[in-house]
Structure 1
């Protein structure tokens, strides 16, 4: 099996991640106990693959030659450990942004329409999901992701604060967002006044702002390379927060390796 293709991690990265998890977890089995159905290295690869491709647990089990129940147990065991072990690699936003303006935007991570969950339907996107808030550099490098997923019905201006993103970037020099963030960021397009028109200068200014904001789409695409955030999330919503933490950690983990290659 080509684990690099299925996880998005190089062999060196997967080995390092497994070592970090082992440091926290120790051995999968106790001395004298039954042999594990799948070893730690393959288990870490399995859990990363679930995030990378949003596989069903049944399909993941077929790929790794284990039962769906084993996949479920490894997912619940290793998801919080991977999130915790990578947390120290998540850079502070100013380490990525430096002195440049930070761009902010929201994106929807679609989920199943759980009947017990309220406020998940996004009228803008016509589906259910979480509103994720992202900050990036003008070149499209992710600087921060709001760690708290917000129900999809909430507007970006609310989600900006509720997600924790505003707190992460509050001390940066300047922030830029679309009209939904007006009065909440330093730079945003000017709205057309009721019954009036924008001046030529205002239209030109809006054009410049919107052209700069295109970098946010690249940042969103980078994050959604982890397809659990791009295709419909299947697991219980209570587990989404940890899954998001895993993906944020894996994003910065791969960037950490790139910096030293």
Structure 2
């Protein structure tokens, strides 16, 4: 399970226990699943990590292509990150957008990377570097200012202090000082920009770790699939950071 989830056996066991408490494995009408919960979660994680086609992935778990598809559709949303509802008064958050190449043209648009992509607004805690909120995907041609509000990330954060890069002017977020035309910034503003950049780099580190999951490099899922994948990868990233 290590190569697929990045989790130790103990952390993976805690995840399974948590899912059972949430009622994921409760009895339901109809045919029972051909795989136990542990293998279903591992199948979804393997799909997100490797981005293999279902024809390639299904034989590894001894199930049919259609069964693997049903497992991903059912278990993927259940692994989604439980986004934080409340924040401490002294919390400092960091937000940034990342593009995920997405083949479903119904939700994706051509973006600056010249591919059909979706824009995902990801909010992390500056102290713990854990993902606390992920906005719904918006077309990749939306700039971060619009995506911040349209994705729901702004509503999820509320009035909590949040810093961002220079791509969020007029949003009320803490962004770097802009150099005036034909002039230079004063020393204290330069120092503030330097410290701001050092802190904001933490969200870039989170993106680098999340993009190790190949589903976020070329997503073939349709509809809400890319959103569920992003939330699931965020939850697994948090578990790995907290381990």
Q: TM class, shorter-chain normalised?
A: 0.7 to 0.9
Give the conservation status (yes or no) of the 8 Å contact 2:110–2:140. Answer: yes
Matched, 1:233 2:219: yes
Change (3 A) 1:29 1:9: farther
Distance in structure 1 (CA, Å) of the matches to 2:199 and 2:78: 37
Q: Structure 2: which 5+ runs fail to align? A: none
Deviates more, 1:53-62 or 1:137-146: 137-146
C-alpha separation in 1, matches of 2:107 and 2:9: 42
Q: 1:91, 1:26 → 2: CA distance?
A: 25
Paired residues of 2:51 and 2:214 also in contact (CA < 8 A):
yes
Indicate whether 1:188 and 2:181 are aligned: no
Q: Does 1:101 align with 2:106?
A: no
Match of 2:124 in 1: 136
Q: TM-score, normalised by structure 1?
A: 0.77
RMSD: 2.9
Q: Which has the higher helix share?
A: 1
* Mapped pair 1:178 → 2:171: no
Matched, 1:122 2:120: no
- The secondary structure found in structure 2 opposite 1:217 is helix
Matched, 1:63 2:49: no
TM-score calculated relative to the size of structure 2: 0.82
Please list the CA deviations of residues 143-192 of structure 1 after superposition, one character each: whole Å capped at 9, or x if unmatched: 423231111110001111112211222222x2221111122134212334
Residues of 2 paired with 1:208 and 1:82: CA distance?
35
Distance in 2 (alpha carbons) for counterparts of 1:15 and 1:205: 44
Match of 1:54 in 2: 51
Aligned partner of 2:235 among 249, 255, 258: 249
Q: Mind listing any 5+ residue stretches in structure 1 that lack a counterpart? A: none
C-alpha distance in 2 between matches for 1:119 and 1:41: 33
